[in-house]
Amino acid sequence: MADLNCDPRPAQRYRFGVFEVDAATGELRRQGMRVKLNAQPFQVLLLLLDRYLDGPGQFVTRDEISRELWPEGTFVDYEHGVNSAVNRIREALGDIAGNPRFIETLARRGYRFLAPVERFDSGDASQPARWDSKAPVPHGQAPTASQTEPPPGARILSRPEDLPKMSFPVVQSLFVLFQLMYLGFYIGALANLAEIQDLLSPLPAAALVFRAVFITAAILIPARAFVLCAALFRAPGFRAKFLTLWPFLLLFDQLWSLAPFLLLHHINFGLALASTALLVYSPFAQRSIVLMGAGSASAGLR
């Protein structure tokens, strides 16, 4: 008797950026290392990749995803289920909903895959089924401007594929220590307002600077406490939330990089300047640590 489960089509493999997807084994790999992705999000990722290869601008509707994941008559919260599956894919790929490189949300319609995709038969990974105009350039052919120019911001800010692999306990501990350091700055400043006011008094705009210290410390304590708790409890979608909040934190972290100068009654000017120079880099280090897995709901399970 014929095997009813036999699929005559060859199993497919897909490649995009530094990622590779094997439909036969259900594995997502980043530069050869397996990335944890559960079965339902993996099915959705395959849908998105196949639809991309159907033609430019093609997208997968939310109804199609629901039908793929849950048979007719299954009672689930489809909206939450679809959102959760897509968020898990984004987390695995290091993608951001507000500034996507891989998965674009089309409001009230569905989702579209953005990055160039190659498809192969599992038995032959050397022959791509389709090349995108932004794919790697064949040997001997001059690249176009669109193929050589990195996306906006890529020249300065790190992307997940630019960063080394680190164990979850290391990146989690570093991120928590950063947050505790800033909370120490804010609480210490509010606890020593009289000393700070005396230190600032020779400045021309002493009253304005003093108010800025007081107000920003009061605002940033709850903001930093939220980030700390979200990371400690591995809140779903933490990476996307932090990266959305990051420009706001960047602005204030640069201002608070001057915090060592509030300790000039206790340290010398040279030490304060050296500490400030290190703190200027601090917000960029925090962003990189989050991209490396700090606060991730799945990082500790890999």
**What does the chain look like in DSSP terms, one character per residue?**
---TT---SPPEEEEETTEEEETTTTEEEETTEEE---HHHHHHHHHHHHHHHH-TT--EEHHHHHHHHS-TT----HHHHHHHHHHHHHHHHT--TTS-SSEEEETTTEEEE-S--EEEETTBTTS-S---TTSPPPTTSPPPHHHHSPPTTTTTS--GGGSPP--HHHHHHHHHHHHHHHHHHHHHHHHTHHHHHHHHTTSTTHHHHHHHHHHHHHHHHHHHHHHHHHHHTT-TTHHHHHHHHHHHHHHHHHHHTTGGGGGTTTS-HHHHHHHHHHHHHHHHHHHHHHHTTTT-TTGGG-
* pLDDT score for 8: 46
Tell me the pTM: 0.54
Helical packing angle, 238-256 and 269-291, nearest 10°: 170
* 248 Cβ contact list (under 8 Å, min separation 6): 223
Sketch out the chain's domains with CATH numbers.
Answer: 12-121 (1.10.10.10), 162-301 (no CATH)
Q: Mind listing the pLDDT tens digit for each residue in 79-96?
A: 788 888 899 999 899 888
Cα atoms in the Cβ-side hemisphere of radius 13 Å centred on 142: 2
Q: Mind listing the pLDDT tens digit for each residue in 202-239?
A: 888 889 999 999 999 999 999 999 999 999 998 888 88
Distances (CA, A) of 250 to 92, 180, 200, 237, 260: 25, 16, 24, 20, 17
Q: Mind listing the pLDDT tens digit for each residue in 126-181?
A: 444 443 434 443 333 344 433 334 444 445 787 776 788 788 899 999 999 999 99
| Confidence tier at 97 by pLDDT (50, 70, 90) | confident
**Between β-strands 19-22 and 12-16, what pairing exists: parallel, antiparallel or unpaired?**
antiparallel
